Amino acid sequence: MFLFNKSYPFLDNLLSAYREFDEESENKEELSSFYETEVTDVQGKKQMYKHIFLKLLKNLQSIANKGYNGPQAHEYCTYLYHWLYLNTKEYNDVDLLISIILEDSQTEKHPIKINMCPYSSYNKQKAIFKLNNLVKLSYFKFNYENIKGILKEKQYPNYCLCHKYLDECVNTYRSMIDSRCSNTERKNNEELCSELTQFNYYYSNLTGDITIREKIPDIYNGERKLELLDCPSEEEISKLRSGSGPSSDAAASDVKTLPTALGTIAGATSVLALLYKVNAMIILNV
């Protein structure tokens, strides 16, 4: 279900959080009892969506037990909000029940007894979750240090995947900052514009590093000062995706020979196979 696992294996915290969010609870009976007796029913919807909300309760409990606070709490609540949105976006009658559960988790009667991941924050961030490209950009602020390390040390194959990710994020920023955040539009897109402002701030941590700033796209024009020679071009990737070009069969074959861990983590896509093949050749020629 999660759309980033194949293309962005370097988003470690995000991917591990999603795997955990989807797991069943070990104390399901306790949470089920609380759900049945304490959560207010809404037009008979409580039983219909019980499987989703038991996982939500389990995940709230897990976040509380791990003692996250400050930026870390914000990060994992954001991941949880997105997980919840993806699991409920097809239903137009669950929002009130979501608000009840998230608000009740802030009270003393709740067995979790936490003061994080409130409904008000979830409700604001739904505007972000509706746009996949904006979700992708929003996760940069939680992962920029890891991305910076990969770019500085040329950690393959994630090196090329990080460059691709930056291209996509910068393109999203450039297309939205003018169309959605002009003086006349900003008041209608406060959450979105706040996300773009944060991206600009955290991206400056990369552009401020002299070892990588000329190799990454400029946030205002999308261009690099130095040509990126270490990774396949967009044209090569497009040909591979469409199945055309002489490299497609070879790359597909290479998927079978990828290391098991790499294939599992990255989803062993044919695009990744091409990146892996090109990077391996570069390493051998160094």
Which pLDDT tens digit goes with each residue over 141-181? 999 999 999 999 888 879 999 999 999 999 999 999 999 99
Is 126 within a domain? yes
Q: What is the pLDDT of residues 1-14, one digit of tens each?
A: 455 666 888 999 99
Please report, for residues 95, 237, 244, 277, 280, the alpha-carbon distance to residue 250 in angstroms, rounded to integers and kept in the order given. Answer: 48, 13, 12, 9, 14
Domain boundary among 225, 241, 256: 225
Is 7 within a domain? no
Q: Mean pLDDT throughout 31-41?
A: 89
Please report, for residues 4, 120, 157, 232, 245, the alpha-carbon distance to residue 236 in angstroms, rounded to integers and kept in the order given. Answer: 21, 44, 16, 6, 8
- Higher pLDDT pick, 202 / 42: 202
Domain boundary among 179, 197, 225: 225
Residues 102, 67 share a domain: yes
Structural domain total, the chain: 3
Is 210 within a domain? yes
Compute the distance between CA of residue 260 and CA of residue 91 in angstroms, rounded to an integer: 37
Is 4 within a domain? no
Dmax (CA) for the chain in angstroms is 66
Residues 206, 99 share a domain: no
> pTM of the predicted model, to two decimals?
0.80
Asked whether residue 45 carries a pLDDT value surpassing 60, the answer given is: yes
Q: Mean pLDDT throughout 237-254?
A: 50
Percent of the chain with pLDDT over 90: 56
Compute the distance between CA of residue 55 and CA of residue 31 in angstroms, rounded to an integer: 9
Average pLDDT, the chain: 82
- Higher pLDDT pick, 243 / 78: 78
What pLDDT is recorded for position 275? 47
Is 213 within a domain? yes
Most confident of 221-225, 239-243, 259-263: 221-225
Angle, in degrees to the nearest 10, between helices 12-21 and 70-88 = 50
Q: Mean pLDDT throughout 55-68?
A: 90
* Range of the structural domain that residue 172 is part of: 133-152+162-225
Residues 172, 65 share a domain: no
Residues 138, 122 share a domain: no
Residues 183, 106 share a domain: no
What pLDDT is recorded for position 203? 98
pLDDT band at 208 (very low <50, low <70, confident <90, very high): very high
Is 1 within a domain? no
Is 6 within a domain? no
In angstroms and rounded to an integer, the radius of gyration of the C-alpha atoms of the chain is: 21
What pLDDT is recorded for position 82? 96
What pLDDT is recorded for position 77? 96
What pLDDT is recorded for position 246? 44
Q: What is the pLDDT of residues 182-194, one digit of tens each?
A: 988 999 999 999 9
Residues 114, 139 share a domain: no
Q: Mean pLDDT throughout 275-283?
A: 42
Is 248 within a domain? yes
Asked whether residue 278 carries a pLDDT value surpassing 90, the answer given is: no
Asked whether residue 251 carries a pLDDT value surpassing 80, the answer given is: no
Residues 120, 19 share a domain: yes
What pLDDT is recorded for position 242? 61
What pLDDT is recorded for position 5? 62
- 3-state SS record for the chain: CCCCCCCCCCCHHHHHHHHHHCCCCCCHHHHHHHHHHHCCCCCCHHHHCHHHHHHHHHHHHHHHHCCCCHHHHHHHHHHHHHHHHHHHCCCCCCHHHHHHHHHHCCCCCCCCCCCCCCHHHHHHHHHHHCCHHHHHHHCHHHHHHHHHHHHHHCCCCHHHHHHHHHHHHHHHHHHHHHHHCCCCCHHHCHHHHHHHHHHHHHHHHHHCCCCCCCCCCCCCCCCCCCCCCCCCCHHHHHHHHHCCCCHHHHHHHHHHHCCHHHHHHHCCCHHHHHHHHHHHHHHHHC
Residues 277, 206 share a domain: no
Asked whether residue 243 carries a pLDDT value surpassing 60, the answer given is: no
Residues 70, 115 share a domain: yes
pLDDT band at 93 (very low <50, low <70, confident <90, very high): very high
Residues 125, 28 share a domain: yes
Compute the distance between CA of residue 86 and CA of residue 115 in angstroms, rounded to an integer: 23
Q: Mean pLDDT throughout 106-117?
A: 65
Asked whether residue 268 carries a pLDDT value surpassing 90, the answer given is: no
Residues 240, 204 share a domain: no
Residues 218, 269 share a domain: no
